[in-house]
Amino acid sequence: MARDTGPRGRVCRRLGVALSNITAKDPDKDPVLRRPYPPGQHGAVSKPSVSDYGRRLREKQKLKLFYGLLENQCRRAFLEARRSPGNTGTVLLQQLESRLDVVLLRAGLATSIRQARQFVRHGYIHVDGVRTNIPSFRLRSGHEVRFGPNHRELPVVRNSFERMKGRSVPAHLVVVEDGRGVRYTRVPEREEIPVEVNVPFIVEFYAQRA
């Protein structure tokens, strides 16, 4: 399975996105907050000009960073959203938010999109009682997500349950089984999606290259 295993700290600094906004990283140790400038020898003093293409490219890179996507995955998601009824940018985010790995992250059962994807790929996660090992599996209204019975006593899973205690989850999710699972109830609205990107720029970027 292809995946991005590169240094996220450097990417976050280059894009100006706090690492603690996409993971459970301690803000006091966040490389972006400690050094709020691009990486490299001249990052602190350089002031490069950014073209219109560069601005659109940067927003697309932010989207890939937030969701842990590769370029082909991001392009396929855009093409699917463009074929669907409704605003393409909003539909794009809503479809990405319905992914199994993203729901695990939003519910607090994983500390990062990478950990959520690892849980799914290793077979820890059941959807409506059926083991599902596809991170991009699209959840529908009423689907319930839980850790499998054979993995609930693992230390990393028990830590996930502890994090869920007293945690508030997004309005489109409902905690079940005393924090040991979550139910996907509906498609989130745009204002409920905690992803700070200029979606029209992303749509324009791909529309010009489709």
Average pLDDT, the chain: 85
Region(s) of the chain under CATH 1.10.1050.10: 8-87
99-184 fold: 3.10.290
Q: Which CATH number fits domain 8-87: 1.10.10.10, 3.80.10.10, 1.10.1050.10, 3.40.710.10?
A: 1.10.1050.10
Q: What is the pTM of this model?
A: 0.86
Percent of the chain with pLDDT over 70: 80
Confidence check: pLDDT of 180 > 90 = no
Region(s) of the chain under CATH 3.10.290.10: 99-184
pLDDT in tens, 66-118: 898 999 999 999 999 999 999 999 999 999 999 999 999 999 898 889 899 99
List b or e across 132-171, with b for residues whose CB sees 16 or more CB atoms inside 10 angstroms: beebbbebeeebbbbbbeebeeeeebeebbebbeeeebbe
Residue 174 dihedral angles phi and psi, to the nearest 5°: -130, 130
Confidence check: pLDDT of 33 > 80 = no
Residues in the chain: 210
Confidence check: pLDDT of 55 > 60 = yes
38 and 82 in contact (C-beta within 8 Å)? no
Query: 134: Cβ–Cβ under 8 A, 6 or more apart, which residues?
Result: 100, 120
Q: In angstroms, what CA-CA distances link 159 with 27, 98, 111, 179, 180?
A: 20, 24, 10, 11, 11
Confidence check: pLDDT of 128 > 60 = yes
